[in-house]
Amino acid sequence: MSLLNQIDLNSLVVFDAVVEAGGFTAAAERLGVAKAKVSIQVNRLEEKLGTTLFLRTTRKVSLTDAGRRLHEDCKPLLAGIQEAIDQVGHERGELAGTLRLTTSVDHAVQSLARAAAEFAVRHPALQVDLRTGDRVVDLVEEGIDLAIRLGWLRDSSLRAVKLGEFDQYVVASPAYLQRAGKPKRVQDLAQHDWVALMLLPTPFTWKFTRRGETHTLQVKSRLRVDSPGALRAMLRQGAGVSVLDQYSVQEDLKTGALVRLLPDWSLPRGGIHAVYPQGRHVPPRVRQFIDFYRTWLAPVS
């Protein structure tokens, strides 16, 4: 019996997951199985091959030379098998496997979580794993299929599809405006207490336009935050003035918790992007979710 006939294909899938995830624990989370099962599969593969594939320490796992060669040779083959399986399922109108999504906490609450739940209802054989956080994650390292990002994308090796756009509003609470006064001109904003969102590429410089007129505003900030949710909470508390996207602020504008300032002036519109790793193969579940979410956003984009 040849060595190939003795090797379980699942052990190669698990091996690939450990390499891509950077460890046994992360691979187990990605595969949705116990860490012990991952270890058993890799150990069996090493026994069949008669070589060590990973160097294991208490802090990290790294590939041996043999492991690196095996991964380089097997990865395109496993991708081809997955593509063939996806294509068969697509032809039958079914989506299967796991769709791993990520976005900011705020956008998940405002939109993506509801959309992902609806998509899962429509495709009962599909598992959906939604991960939230305000830091920009490494999609390849964390095994993410698709990230939904708002704003302005930095240059990268990732692929991106623009799903829509959003407006930005200058806002403050009624309590703050009663205390500090309501700005009547763009220039007046520089004299107000500004709360800066440090996730932005230029949190202290804002370009306003109105009927062909342009004004660039430079602000100083004593209060600084690293998430839209924290910024919104500070503004509602009366901390000062800042800019929020239309999704974050729409409910507060309806209830009067926040007030839009200088509505006749516009700020640059931001983009809503679907971002995914480079590669020749984009699984049908990713392509279909991109189309689905574009339609989901259409009424408010």
Beta bridge partners of 141: none
Tokens of 134: 């305000």
pLDDT at 91 over 70: no
Domains of the chain: 3-86 (1.10.10.10), 94-166+271-300 (3.40.190.10), 169-268 (3.40.190.290)
Decide: 8 and 44 in contact? Cβ < 8 Å. Answer: yes
The length of the chain, given as a count of residues: 301
Query: Positive or negative CA dihedral for 301, 256, 207, 151?
Result: negative
Q: Which residue has the higher pLDDT, 159 or 170?
A: 170
C-alpha triplet 8, 285, 141: angle, nearest 5°: 65
pLDDT band (50, 70, 90) for residue 301? very low
- What pLDDT is attached to residue 28? 84
Q: What is the pTM of this model?
A: 0.66
The residues, any chain, with a CB within 8 Å of residue 129's CB and separated by 6 or more, are 98, 99, 100, 101
pLDDT band (50, 70, 90) for residue 227? confident
Decide: 238 and 180 in contact? Cβ < 8 Å. Answer: no
Flag the least confident range among 1-5, 145-149, 256-260.
1-5
Q: pLDDT by residue (tens digit) across 1-24?
A: 555 556 777 888 888 888 877 788
- CA 179/CA 141 separation, integer angstroms: 48
Q: pLDDT by residue (tens digit) across 192-207?
A: 999 999 988 899 999 9
Beta bridge partners of 266: 209
